[in-house]
Amino acid sequence: MPLFCFLTEKLIMKDITIEELRSKLDGRPVGVVGKRKEFAVLIPLIEEDGEVKLLFEVRSKDIRQPGDVCFPGGKIEEGESETEAALREMAEETGVGPEYVEVLGRFDSVLEVNRIRMHTAVGLMKEGWREQLDPDGEVAEIFTVPLKFFKETEPDYYKGRIIQDTEGFPYEKHGINPEYKWRDAWQDIFFWHWEGHTIWGLTAAIVQWMTEVLL
């Protein structure tokens, strides 16, 4: 038997021991089953005119989901922490660098059905941030909304059903009952309207949860 085949066979046939499993589990950080795309957004807070406001972006017509209202954010790059990614995206999209943001802390993450995990951090804009504003081509507009508006205003609400497409599922091949009852999935969708802008979707979900938990 060739040496390569012999070594491959030995590798495949090697027994897994409890001690090896114990070693791999010891101290291992808890993750989520399945590969996910990791994103991060910054939730920017502004203190002006005696009140706290949230800063939002409007997505450019030239990118995916044009016209949507969102927070600064994007995909986490290799080697970045969630907060570092959020601050980098803030700088790239608005021109406001990390030196003009005081990170108040991490907030909760959102798991979406399309295998996206969205991490969030809350940042307070420091003095001089407005002079740094230089939005890139992804941002059509930047606007602010008083935080108390979300506390005092009930959002419109829609409960959306997410339907699984099981056409072509190999029931017979794997001995599964063709009458199998797939579990329904539902998504809470919130809407706020502010001066011609509609804040909805994932951004509104983050705001709604932040309002419920922190305010």
Q: Which domain holds residue 58?
A: 37-214
Domain membership of residue 2 (yes or no) is no
* pLDDT tens figures, 93-126: 999 999 999 999 999 999 887 889 999 999 999 9
Map residue 3 onto helix, strand or coil.
helix
CATH no. for residue 104? 3.90.79.10
Domain membership of residue 4 (yes or no) is no
Domain membership of residue 150 (yes or no) is yes
Q: Which residues pair with 37 in a beta bridge?
A: 116
* pLDDT tens figures, 161-205: 988 889 999 999 999 999 999 988 889 999 999 999 999 999 999
Domain membership of residue 199 (yes or no) is yes
Residue 4: the pLDDT is: 46
Domain membership of residue 16 (yes or no) is no
Map residue 22 onto helix, strand or coil.
helix
Q: How many domains does the chain have?
A: 1
Both structure tokens of 11: 């590798």
Rounded to two decimals, what is the model's pTM? 0.85
